Amino acid sequence: MITIIDYGSGNLKSISNGFARIGREVRISRDKEELEESEALVLPGVGAFGTAMEHLHGYQEVIHQHIHNGKPFLGICLGLQVLFTSSQESPGVKGLNVFPGEVIRFPPFIREEGLKIPHMGWNNLQIKRECPILEGVSSDFMYFVHSFYVKPQDDKIVAASVNYGIEVPCIVFKDNVFATQFHPEKSGEKGLLILKNFLKKVDSY
């Protein structure tokens, strides 16, 4: 069973509906035993980094153990950002540190180029390296809503980026952990294809 973690900071219905559209039943749960027994975990997220980490306090060990066990994991939007070490949005708050690096603000100069903050709307991917969830996906447009972006210590984990005045990493992955800055469930057929590709990893686990 694939479980969406209900930790109080996620758009649960949206991602659940995304999986339903591709014919896969998923469970929404905050029960730790159900999370521990899940084949795969999905961590969505909306709102502030600090609030999300506060809500995740009781789930950090479950998440780390799931990843350590090699089970597939998918983070979406803020669910990507909390996988990193820290964020300028919430100084002093520690992230999950699955990926060393920082979440940083968009630089003010991009406004001078006519770009708005938050980054909201459709942008096309720039593929950086092969990634299992990108099978059949190329420079397709995905839907974004965010004011901060990730800066990994290791650029090799970046599978795709977008140009929004600067280069913005938007898919990161390593081993069994995948994460997108955009919302695949809101990104049309190609976004749903990314979810289908994630299911392939789950089914092959």
Does 8 score more than 90 pLDDT?
no
Q: State mean pLDDT over 187-197.
A: 98
- Closest Cα partner for 173 from 183, 160, 191? 160
Q: What are phi and psi of 162, to 5 degrees?
A: -130, 160
Single out the residue of 167, 169, 166, 165 nearest to residue 156, CA to CA. Answer: 169
Torsions phi, psi of 31, nearest 5? -80, 120
Q: 101-155, pLDDT tens digit by residue?
A: 999 999 999 998 899 999 999 999 999 999 999 999 999 999 999 999 999 999 9
Ramachandran area for residue 161 (φ above 0: left; ψ -120 to 50: alpha; else beta) = beta
The stretch 172-196 carries a mean pLDDT of 97
Tell whether the model's pLDDT for residue 46 goes beyond 80.
yes
Q: Residue 180: pLDDT above 90?
A: yes
0.85 exceeded by pTM: yes
Domains and CATH numbers, the chain: 2-204 (3.40.50.880)
Q: Going along 6-88, which residue ranges are E strands? A: 26-29, 40-43, 73-76, 84-87
CA–chain centroid gap for 98, Å, is 12
Mean pLDDT on 35-52: 95
Q: Do the Cβ atoms of 25 and 94 come closer than 8 Å?
A: no
The mean per-residue pLDDT over the stretch 179-197 comes to 97
Residues assigned a catalytic role: 77, 183, 185
Mean pLDDT lowest among 45-54, 76-85, 91-100, 170-179 = 45-54
pLDDT tens column, 16-26: 999 999 999 99
